């Protein structure tokens, strides 16, 4: 990851102070909470949660407060992520008071409220370890409920059935998780809707969000995902880039993409899951036959004329991507019927047949023997 030179440490001795034990952060498995942790780690130039200092947290607070007070972030946050949030001061009635200092103050108050991670009742549904926040005045003076103004896609005071327990206090979340969720926008992309990526192991969450955080650092804007307009195509592209550039094999990894809007009046969410066999296959394809793999993907778009780079940025569906993610065969895309030949290296085809389709040796031997006719006979 690249160095962090823009923010000076103006927190004096406080800056290097270790995290107080009770406030330590950890991965929770909740996509929005973990995305917030990714943002803080990435801004701090760190990879492990246990390496964070309290100074890192305060610097990250300072960084997002400056960002969120800007008009462009205000519009996205108010419009699509945290409508009317009292914490991030996006409620139109707070316009006059909105300032980095005010946002910092709100976030620091939430941070101060973080309890030890050994709660026994009234537990947070996101981390399962800390007691839920009871001081609701911390999320806005008039807030009676932890709703979708501070946690995207949950309910509101009028829509209690959107909460796990129908609780009148809303989403049962602790101060730590709520604090972290406020950082999630910095680790997300805006491809029309908002794209937040959650991966296991967490190092892949960091790699997949790196572009977004870099963009925020450099331009103070939310990343548009380099002009991509379809979350699925963007993810395939990112996974291929990371595989090729960093030699990552994505062994036993998985990725979930949450593509959503949290408008006040309307909420939408699409979840795309990338299982490890898909990630490992992309990584393998990039390592043995990147050109051949692009040839296969190219055949997944109906448009026969447009070039690859253009098409992958559009909203158009790609049949190869769709089939891979749905566990359907893409064998026929390895074969060019017009020119009667297989368009990738044998190694890639063999890997696909063995590792993704789980064909056994006998079938593979047969395939190799009659290599050119295979796809016609078995692939359809
Ligand atoms: Zn929690």
Q: pLDDT tens digits for 221-272?
A: 899 999 999 999 999 999 999 999 999 999 999 999 999 999 878 889 999 9
Alpha helices in the chain (DSSP H): 31-43, 54-68, 71-76, 100-112, 175-181, 202-219, 231-246, 276-288, 290-298, 308-313, 319-325, 346-351, 361-369, 374
Give the distance (Å) from ligand 1 centre to CA of residue 170. 14
| Residues 45, 115 within the same domain | yes
Note whether 366 and 360 are within 8 A (CB).
no
Give the distance (Å) from ligand 1 centre to CA of residue 184. 15
Residue identified by tokens 């501070």 is: 150
Q: pLDDT tens digits, residue range 289-340?
A: 999 999 999 999 998 899 999 999 999 999 999 999 999 999 999 988 888 8
Lowest mean pLDDT among 6-15, 65-74, 82-91, 369-378: 6-15
Lowest mean pLDDT among 115-124, 166-175, 177-186, 324-333: 166-175
| Residues 164, 265 within the same domain | no
* Mean pLDDT, range 113-133, rounded to an integer: 94
Tell me which residues have their CB within 5 A of the ion that is ligand 1: 124, 126-127, 130, 174, 177
Domain of 260, in residue numbers: 230-380
Contact partners, residue 5, CB within 8 Å, separation at least 6: none
Q: Is residue 201 in a domain?
A: no
| Residues 260, 162 within the same domain | no
Give the distance (Å) from ligand 1 centre to CA of residue 325. 31
Give the distance (Å) from ligand 1 centre to CA of residue 113. 12
Q: pLDDT tens digits, residue range 38-93?
A: 999 999 999 999 999 999 999 999 999 999 999 999 999 999 999 989 899 988 88
Note whether 170 and 56 are within 8 A (CB).
no
Distance CA(261)–CA(196), nearest Å, equals 11
Give the distance (Å) from ligand 1 centre to CA of residue 36. 12
Distance CA(150)–CA(159), nearest Å, equals 15
Whose CA is closest to 101, among 43, 135, 62?
A: 62
Q: Is residue 194 in a domain?
A: no
Domain boundary, last residue among 132, 164, 185 = 185
Contact partners, residue 4, CB within 8 Å, separation at least 6: 43, 44, 45, 217
Domain boundary, last residue among 151, 185, 219 = 185
Give the distance (Å) from ligand 1 centre to CA of residue 112. 14
C-alpha distances out from residue 340 to 293, 374, 380, Å: 18, 11, 15
Give the distance (Å) from ligand 1 centre to CA of residue 133. 9
Whose CA is closest to 139, among 107, 114, 115?
A: 107
Give the distance (Å) from ligand 1 centre to CA of residue 122. 11
Q: pLDDT tens digits, residue range 139-170?
A: 876 667 888 889 998 877 666 666 666 677 88
Domain count, the chain: 2
| Residues 242, 376 within the same domain | yes
Q: Is residue 192 in a domain?
A: no
Give the distance (Å) from ligand 1 centre to CA of residue 328. 38
| Residues 20, 76 within the same domain | yes
Contacts 24+ apart (CB under 8 A), 295-303: 295/343, 295/344, 296/320, 296/330, 296/333, 296/334, 296/343, 296/344, 297/236, 297/321, 299/333, 300/330, 300/333
| Residues 297, 158 within the same domain | no
pLDDT band at 7 (very low <50, low <70, confident <90, very high): very low
Domain boundary, last residue among 185, 208, 240 = 185
Q: Is residue 122 in a domain?
A: yes
| Residues 149, 52 within the same domain | yes
């Amino acid at each position: 990851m690249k160095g962090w030179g823009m923010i000076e440490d103006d927190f004096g001795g406080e800056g290097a102070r270790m995290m107080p034990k009770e406030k330590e952060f950890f991965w929770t498995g909740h996509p929005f909470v973990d995305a917030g942790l990714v943002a803080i780690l990435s801004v701090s130039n760190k990879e492990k949660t246990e390496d964070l200092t309290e100074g890192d947290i305060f610097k990250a607070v300072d960084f997002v407060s400056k960002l969120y007070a800007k008009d462009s972030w205000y519009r996205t946050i108010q419009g699509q992520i945290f409508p009317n949030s009292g914490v991030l001061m996006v409620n139109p009635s707070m316009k006059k008071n909105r300032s980095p200092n005010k946002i910092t103050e709100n976030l620091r108050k939430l941070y101060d409220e973080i309890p030890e991670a050994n709660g026994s009742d009234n537990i947070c549904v996101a981390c399962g370890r800390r007691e839920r926040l009871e001081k609701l005045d911390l999320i806005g003076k008039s807030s009676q409920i932890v709703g979708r103004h501070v946690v995207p896609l949950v309910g509101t005071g009028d829509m209690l059935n959107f909460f796990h327990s129908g609780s009148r206090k809303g989403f049962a979340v602790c101060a730590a998780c709520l604090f972290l969720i406020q950082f999630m926008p910095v680790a997300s992309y805006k491809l029309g809707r908002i794209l937040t990526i959650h991966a296991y192991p967490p190092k892949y969450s960091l790699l997949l969000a790196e572009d977004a955080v870099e963009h925020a650092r450099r331009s103070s804007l939310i990343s548009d995902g380099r002009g991509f307009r379809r979350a699925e195509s963007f993810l395939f592209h990112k996974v291929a880039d990371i595989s090729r550039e960093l030699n990552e094999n994505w062994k036993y990894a998985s990725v979930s993409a949450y593509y959503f809007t949290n408008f006040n009046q309307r909420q939408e969410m699409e979840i795309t899951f990338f299982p490890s066999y898909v990630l490992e296959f992309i990584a393998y394809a990039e390592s043995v036959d990147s050109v051949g793999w692009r040839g296969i993907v190219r055949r997944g778009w109906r448009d026969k004329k447009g070039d690859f780079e253009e098409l992958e940025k559009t909203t158009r569906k790609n049949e190869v991507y769709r089939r891979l993610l749905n566990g359907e065969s893409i064998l026929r895309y390895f074969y060019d019927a017009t020119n009667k030949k297989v368009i990738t290296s044998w190694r890639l085809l063999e890997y696909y047949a063995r590792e993704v389709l789980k064909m056994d040796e006998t079938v593979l031997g047969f395939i190799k023997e009659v290599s050119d006719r295979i796809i016609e006979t078995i692939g359809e």
